[in-house]
Chain A
Amino acid sequence: MAVSEAVHDAGIHIQEVEAGVAGIYNDIFEFQAIPESGFQGIIGLQNKPLMRVTNGGATGAYAMLAAYNMVASGQYDLMLVLGVEKALDCYDYEAESNTPAVVQTIGYSWDPWFERPLGAHASESYAEVIQAYMDEHPGDLAPMARARIVELLCEHAQNNPYAQRLGEKVTADQVLHSRYVVYPVRVLETCVYTEGACALIFASAEMAQKIKERTGRDPIWLTGVGAANEPYFVGNDITRYKVLHRIYSDHVATKQALQMAGITIEDIQVIELHDAFIPQLMITLAEMGVVPLGRANDLVEEGIILPGGKLLVNPSGGLVFGGHFVGGSNMMSTWSAMREMRARNFEHGLIHGTGASLSMYGVAMVLERRA
């Protein structure tokens, strides 16, 4: 369905597509090793290359980065990028619930010798970074600022027909009174871990021009890309180890992408960022340079991301309301940013993906709409 909608939206025939990249995170969730093998004929890429990318939570963003490079290298002019994920087949028969089995399955991404046996799991890993940031910047990531962002994303999601929590109403007060899943993160501050698929078409400049002629729509250009993975183990030297209170990968990736595009963060009008957890969204925006580190409350208190503010953040509702189907959620973010850029006549947008233990992996991409 996702591939069908993407090719029809782009005004192309699937047979024109020369190659594909499939973003799929975790084989256990898919209940199959090399799950992409089953796609080949179904998505119409028989006898063409389909490369799977898997890079933790940032799988979708890395899949797009791979496709960008395959087109930019000149090898292919027209590519399909497909993000797919299942998750909810995992089931805890003792608890009679999916959730403990889903978080356990994500926990299998952790180091099996030194960390996993201690009970490492998805929320705990991000909460470590959040807690360390709060140690470093006491008073920042204030509960009310976080709750207000959840409320804002909920409002945004009502404009996203694909949002998995479309029609839901969550208030800041409900957030403040929701349960802790792992201290200091509350359940309504977490993304909705879910299933889904998203497909995008990547084209060379020449092919993009043809698509424009067919559809009458200007293409959105990818003018800057950046990526960085921090080291796994925590230490005190940011050049050699993961420094716990930073999401340095987001800082490096964004800096690279902006530099390549020849713009600054001030030029960005819409950011679709990977909000695994709301406090992490705030840290990431600080790492990107939207506000200084330690001043993330300003995003709300200064109205920066509120309606009428200078920056539109996660108009899709983000992963918290749009849904985090890992392989494809960063692609949903890209679709949403493109849609907003066209609808609001924005010139620059930024896409972001993060993932892996302690939010180690970071990807940023600058989108440009040329008048």
Chain B
Amino acid sequence: MAQTTKRVVFTKSKTQKSKITKTKVAKGTAQKRTVRQSKAQPKPVISPAMLPMQAISEVQGADGVYLQRNDVMFTAMKHTQGEFSDFFRALRDQTKVLGHRCPECRHLIIPPFMRRCPACNFVEMKKEYVRDTGIMVATPVITVFAPSRFKGQEPFGTGRVFLEAADGKMSDTAMLVRVRTTRGTIRPGIYKKGTPVKIAFCDSRQGEMLDIFAVPQNELTPRQLARSPLLESEIEWGRISETEFGKPTPQLEKALKEAIVHFQKLAEMIPHSPRATANLANWRRTVSVRTGGGAFGLVLDQGKLQVLKEGVKDPDLVVAIQDPSTLLAWLRDCTEPEGDTVKSPALTDLVIEGTLILNKPELETVTRLDRVPRSLRRDSVAIAR
């Protein structure tokens, strides 16, 4: 049996909380494995809630009733980063972005997706670090409804950045990154084509693309902008306090009162609708709603909604909206339904358009509330006007 030696290597970064354990297999064998262990509790790759229980059910098919089996297409992977490992290791251990430059045509590519330049008959490219500053190629895209494996992260923005080389020129290719804002959730208007950005690094990094993200340079202080690397913990997040509404006008105050009345009606209706109750089940959040007409609070708990006129201390979520009457159309769809269709824009649309600003990227409270109007209709729940 081969003998093994073990040594533990801590990463240089002070913020790095994980360690690397290298297991070296005895001389003479070809195997060498480096395993990175995180101090955080390991999470399963697949959420247990995603796993089906064995069952066979019946569904209506095109020509009769079909049997339907719960199943999975199951292949666990140990997926090597291969020759891209240098790039990911640079993100993780050096907090730097690595590119490749062709010595002949001088093209600089990020990420280093190829090692040989096909335009120069496959000449070997050279490694070159790029700066953590650059520009957006185009306005980023904002995802509202995420694929299965990214649930809970929405809304999130992704966009491509050209980064600067040491000589100040931009890279020839662009890298896809998550884009974030310090001022609530991502929404249109924060980034556009050409927006100067800085790449920031997560404090805890695994060696993957989510170790980094872009922030607009105009949201950073000169000191933050000068720092390299800039870590996530060095940025002040959730700054929607900067979204000042000014002195409430009588019109806004009136709209606020009306919105609160409708939320209270909604709270009374929900217990009468099994579907609406299910929409809010297994979700507890205290929400501070800040408007141009004043603030109030909502509590979602045990499938119920509670309205607090005085607002909330230490809320789980802060929602800011200038004009409370913007919420009224949605509320009237809940409390004063007309016909079978929902007429108002979804609350998620208000978030995505930037009308409704959240202090953090957590859309689930809003998406759960968005299901309520339809549920009330389906359960035929209405109250006397």
Partner of A180, one of B148, B156, B176, B352: B352
* Min C-beta distance of A340 to chain B, whole Å: 28
Cβ of A177 under 8 Å from chain B: yes
Cβ of B184 under 8 Å from chain A: no
B346:A94 contact, CB within 8 angstroms: no
B137:A181 contact, CB within 8 angstroms: no
A107:B209 contact, CB within 8 angstroms: no
* Chain A residues closer than 8 Å to B346, beta-carbon distance: 179
A236:B162 contact, CB within 8 angstroms: yes
* Chain B residues closer than 8 Å to A121, beta-carbon distance: 143, 146-147, 150
A119:B143 contact, CB within 8 angstroms: yes
Cβ of A99 under 8 Å from chain B: yes
Q: Which of B223-252 contact A (CB under 8 A)?
A: none
Cβ of A95 under 8 Å from chain B: yes
A235:B141 contact, CB within 8 angstroms: no
A244:B137 contact, CB within 8 angstroms: yes
B47:A131 contact, CB within 8 angstroms: no
B141:A182 contact, CB within 8 angstroms: yes
Contact A183:B142 (CB < 8 A) given known A104-B147, A234-B137, A234-B173: yes
* Chain A residues closer than 8 Å to B88, beta-carbon distance: 113
* Chain A residues closer than 8 Å to B79, beta-carbon distance: 112
* Min C-beta distance of B241 to chain A, whole Å: 25
A235:B51 contact, CB within 8 angstroms: no
B160:A244 contact, CB within 8 angstroms: yes
Q: How large is the interface on B (under 10, 10 to 19, 20 to 34, 35 or more residues)?
A: 35 or more
* Most chain B beta-carbon neighbours within 10 Å: one of A114, A183, A235, A244: A183
Partner of B147, one of A100, A135, A236, A240: A100
Partner of A114, one of B175, B188, B352: B175
* Chain B residues closer than 8 Å to A136, beta-carbon distance: 193
* Chain A residues closer than 8 Å to B193, beta-carbon distance: 132, 135-136
Cβ of B174 under 8 Å from chain A: yes
CA A240 to CA B108, docked complex, whole Å: 12
Cβ of A39 under 8 Å from chain B: no
Contact with A along B131-145 (1 / 0, CB 8 A): 000000111111111
* Min C-beta distance of A113 to chain B, whole Å: 5
* Chain B residues closer than 8 Å to A18, beta-carbon distance: none
Q: Which residue of chain A is the closest to B51 with respect to CB atoms?
A: A93
B176:A115 contact, CB within 8 angstroms: yes
Cβ of B165 under 8 Å from chain A: no
CA A202 to CA B348, docked complex, whole Å: 48
* Chain B residues closer than 8 Å to A235, beta-carbon distance: 109, 172-174
Contact with A along B205-232 (1 / 0, CB 8 A): 0001110000000000000000000000
Contact A127:B147 (CB < 8 A) given known A93-B52, A113-B84, A135-B193: no
CA A103 to CA B107, docked complex, whole Å: 34
Partner of A236, one of B143, B159, B172, B210: B172
* Min C-beta distance of A356 to chain B, whole Å: 15
Cβ of B50 under 8 Å from chain A: yes
CA A127 to CA B176, docked complex, whole Å: 14
* Min C-beta distance of B79 to chain A, whole Å: 7
Q: Which residue of chain B is the closest to A101 with respect to CB atoms?
A: B148
CA A177 to CA B345, docked complex, whole Å: 6
* Chain A residues closer than 8 Å to B159, beta-carbon distance: 128
CA A252 to CA B49, docked complex, whole Å: 46
Partner of B107, one of A93, A94, A240: A240
Contact with A along B164-176 (1 / 0, CB 8 A): 0000001011111
Partner of B111, one of A31, A99, A114: A114
* Min C-beta distance of B229 to chain A, whole Å: 19
* Chain A residues closer than 8 Å to B50, beta-carbon distance: 92-94
A93:B147 contact, CB within 8 angstroms: no
A31:B143 contact, CB within 8 angstroms: no
Cβ of B192 under 8 Å from chain A: yes
Contact A135:B192 (CB < 8 A) given known A114-B111, A119-B156, A121-B143: yes
B178:A118 contact, CB within 8 angstroms: yes
CA A115 to CA B84, docked complex, whole Å: 13
Contact A237:B176 (CB < 8 A) given known A104-B147, A107-B147, A135-B139: no
* Chain B residues closer than 8 Å to A113, beta-carbon distance: 81, 84, 88, 111, 209
* Chain A residues closer than 8 Å to B47, beta-carbon distance: 94
Beyond contacts A121-B143, A233-B174: 15 other A-B pairs, Cβ-Cβ < 8 A, are A93-B49, A95-B151, A100-B148, A114-B111, A114-B176, A119-B150, A120-B158, A120-B176, A132-B137, A179-B345, A180-B348, A182-B141, A183-B144, A233-B173, A244-B174
Q: Give A contacts to B, CB under 8 Å.
A: 28, 31, 91-95, 99-101, 103-104, 107, 111-115, 117-121, 123-124, 127-128, 131-132, 134-136, 177, 179-184, 232-237, 240-241, 244-245
A sample of 16 cross-chain residue pairs with beta-carbon separation below 8 angstroms, ordered by A number, consists of: A100-B148, A114-B175, A115-B176, A118-B176, A118-B209, A128-B158, A132-B139, A135-B139, A182-B143, A182-B144, A184-B188, A233-B113, A235-B109, A237-B107, A240-B107, A244-B138
A-B CB proximity, top 5 nearest: A132-B138, A104-B147, A235-B173, A135-B193, A183-B142
